[in-house]
Amino acid sequence: MTSTAAAAAHQDGPGVDRPSGAGRDRPGLGRAAAQAMERAAEHLKSLQSPEGWWKGELETNVTMDAEDLLLRHFLGILAPGTLAEAAAWIRSRQRPDGAWPTFYRGPGDLSTTVEAYVALRLAGDRPGDPHMARAAAWVREHGGVESARVFTRIWLAMVGCWSWDDDLPVIPPELVFLPPNWPLSIWSFGCWARQTIVALSVVMAHRPCRPVPFGIDELRSHTRPRRRPAGAWGRALLALDKALHHYEALPPQSWPKRLVRGAALREAERWVVARQEADGSWGGIQPPMVYSTIALVLQGYPLTHPVVAAALRALGSFVVRDEAGRRVEACQSPVWDTALAVTALVDSGARPDDPSVTAACRWLLSKEVTVRGDWAVRRPGLAPGGWFFEFENANYPDIDDTAEVVIALRRAGAPPGSRADQACQRGTRWAVGMQSADGGWAAFDADNTSELPRKLPFFDFGEVIDPPTADVTAHVVEMLAAEPGLDHEGWHDALDRGVRWLLANQESDGSWWGRWGVNYVYGTGAALPALAQAGLPARHPAIVKGVRWLVEHQNADGGWGEDLRSYVEPAWRGRGTSTASQTAWALMGLLAAGERDHPATQAGVEWLVANQTAEGTWDEPWFTGEGFPWDFNLNYHLYRHVFPLTALGRFVLGTGPRAGTVGTSLHARPHAGRREGCP
């Protein structure tokens, strides 16, 4: 960094208060931060696998465990030991009021509580047991099983606790025949929903029932919730659902079903089998894995069939057993975790030839995607590239992982002409090709923005489309702005459009919404480093507003935290118990904006130092990751470590993006057309 750029990076924007004596660390802070950084780096290295990857547990909620037990019951493979272990874990997660939440210290959730209750009944818990009576009373008080979401009632129908004819939508397998550009084709949905829908359509066509030896009348409120569709499209889709119910009621030998139903089931079966990954999973996530396995069994596949046997092994690999109990992950995140770990180590002073860094880079390179996946339906002329999230998921690389892997490989070296350099170029080229028409980037698909899927009566849980978001767009902008191939590849336009998207999508209060992390702290902590890497000066209004928002939402203890309720209640925006990961995100934003000496930054670093454990990490039971905002929440167990290490490294060593020091963005340099170098 030049002296001029360094000075610019530490200038204040208007409205950002600076203390007298700015420019000096608080007494002893620099040394304490450096020591905390070194302890954290050593601890992170101790967590690395022999193959070079890192993977923290991906904690969710007990629906994963309940559905795992119901699946095993349905398939006839539920072992008594598995049932007892899983039931003990489910009991341990119950709230005092009888309900089960979807995140740590969250409110009770009706569908989660219903599924947990049924799983415990399967384990032999009786309705009269105190914990079960409390749960049943809570369910009735909150609308009863009748008010549970569609997917919960589908599970209940499969085990004989709900009727297939009672308030369930129709998902016909004939959907697979709709062309990609038709409304409500499977390609209108995000990839996670698309994989679930195709498999679930087979299940719902068969309408299976393998009953459990009990009923759940004690969960019924004997009232019917009013499911009013919203708007004209909602009413039209409800009418379509009624028409599909009439079609579904036709006998199998009627001419419409005789002509298409069998062919649709065979095509859906082929579609599912073609998308099984090398490790036996589908998309590396629980819902498609579970429904695909059931669908194939219903289509006549025995449990010993190679496809089903591989699926069962994959499901087994998602089981975590330790002193806390047996539980099931919804997904696994080794590529994501490893990329973040490499960046954290490099930012905290590890050399490119550090054995931990080189082993991780070799492993990441082995996971590069070299085949076309579902994304090619929208981008048929785009060459493959990039990375996925899990151990195996070549059909669904994602743009967010690709950006973070390229950032990590570039920061770790990737000399010109090397294997890493070529992989970075392919990944960047693929990510640029996946830019949506509005200039932003989504996670898996391009221009997956139709609102119709959200209005369907059978989707009452989670996001079903994949529009561009601030966090993913920010990561791609940060990647592009540091890419040495920016000139000769002609990627300036993609970068400029991405910067414009971020500026246009900043909230009026100065924050950015977070799709895959909680929430405005995550979005703002991603956007500020991206804009800084793109060359915006510290005085740019967007950076000034973002800094002000972070400062205003710092907790009195010096940390930052944001509760998941911020997705549904504006009063929670930027508010919550301080956590290590969210404090680190805020610090990364402030440091990128040139605010190293701001009292908010100093207090945040002090919080990280004071709350580090003796092992060199941080405790974080709070959920700060997202699957579906508010509906399906995640606790990435490595977040509590990699992000604080990154923040400490950037504070101590001055690594990472800095406002005004790169100059690649046409917004930062309106009269410049070419990039002048690397950071």
3-state SS string for 357-426: HHHHHHHHHHCCCCCCCHHHHCCCCCCCCCECCCCCCCCCCEHHHHHHHHHHHHHCCCCCCCHHHHHHHH
Nearest to 494 by CA among 432, 401, 549, 569: 432
Instruction: pLDDT band for 671, please (50, 70, 90 cuts).
Output: very low
Distances (CA, A) of 439 to 424, 432, 495, 499, 535: 21, 10, 9, 8, 18
Our measurement of the distance from residue 25's CA atom to the centroid of its chain's CA atoms, rounded to an integer in Å, reads: 36
- For residues 115 and 71, give the distance between their C-alpha atoms in angstroms, rounded to a whole number: 12
Contact call for residues 586 and 550 (beta carbons, < 8 A): yes
Positive or negative torsion for Cα 356, 361, 363, 364: positive
pTM of the model as a whole = 0.92
Positive or negative torsion for Cα 619, 554, 663, 22: negative
Mean pLDDT along residues 51-79: 97
pLDDT of 258 reads 79
Chain mean pLDDT for the chain: 91
List CB contacts of 219: < 8 A, sequence separation 6 or more: 114, 117, 136, 139, 140, 144, 145
Question: Which amino acid, residue 323?
Answer: E
Contact call for residues 461 and 151 (beta carbons, < 8 A): yes
β-bridge partners, 101: 108
Mean pLDDT is lowest, of 231-245, 287-301, 566-580, for 231-245
Contact call for residues 420 and 447 (beta carbons, < 8 A): no
Contact call for residues 207 and 164 (beta carbons, < 8 A): yes
pLDDT in tens, 15-41: 333 333 345 788 899 999 999 999 999
Mean pLDDT is lowest, of 188-192, 489-493, 629-633, for 489-493
Contact call for residues 401 and 389 (beta carbons, < 8 A): yes
- For residues 208 and 145, give the distance between their C-alpha atoms in angstroms, rounded to a whole number: 20
Contact call for residues 669 and 17 (beta carbons, < 8 A): no
Burial (CB count <10 Å: 0-12, 13-18, 19+), residue 625: buried
pLDDT at 6 over 80: no
Nearest to 510 by CA among 472, 477, 481, 553: 553
Over the Cα atoms of the chain, what is R_g? 25
pLDDT of 227 reads 60
pLDDT at 529 over 80: yes
List CB contacts of 651: < 8 A, sequence separation 6 or more: 33, 587, 591, 596, 601, 605
Question: Which amino acid, residue 82?
Answer: T
Mean pLDDT along residues 37-48: 98
Nearest to 492 by CA among 668, 651, 652: 668
- For residues 144 and 138, give the distance between their C-alpha atoms in angstroms, rounded to a whole number: 8
Contact call for residues 636 and 645 (beta carbons, < 8 A): no
pLDDT at 667 over 50: no
DSSP-derived secondary structure letter, 661:
S
pLDDT at 135 over 60: yes
Q: Tell me the domains of the chain and their CATH numbers.
A: 3-17+37-58+331-448+469-653 (1.50.10.20), 61-264 (1.50.10.20)
Distances (CA, A) of 462 to 99, 193, 628: 20, 9, 5
Q: Which residues of 491-530 are buried (b: 16+ CB within 10 A; e: fewer)?
A: bbebbbbbbbbbeebbbeebbbbbbbbbbbbbbbbbbbbb
Q: Could you identify the residue written with the tokens 């549904």?
A: 568
- For residues 668 and 325, give the distance between their C-alpha atoms in angstroms, rounded to a whole number: 53
Percent of the chain with pLDDT over 90: 82
pLDDT of 362 reads 98
pLDDT of 223 reads 87
pLDDT in tens, 456-508: 876 777 889 999 999 999 999 999 999 987 777 789 999 999 999 999 999 99
Contact call for residues 538 and 581 (beta carbons, < 8 A): no
- The vertex-206 CA angle with 201 and 207, nearest 5°, equals 95
Instruction: Please confirm, yes or no, whether 597 is among the known catalytic residues.
Output: no
Contact call for residues 626 and 633 (beta carbons, < 8 A): yes
Q: Which of 12, 347, 400, 445 is labelled catalytic? A: 400
Break the chain down into helix, strand, coil percent, rounded to 5. 50, 5, 45
Contact call for residues 156 and 212 (beta carbons, < 8 A): no
Question: Which amino acid, residue 481?
Answer: A
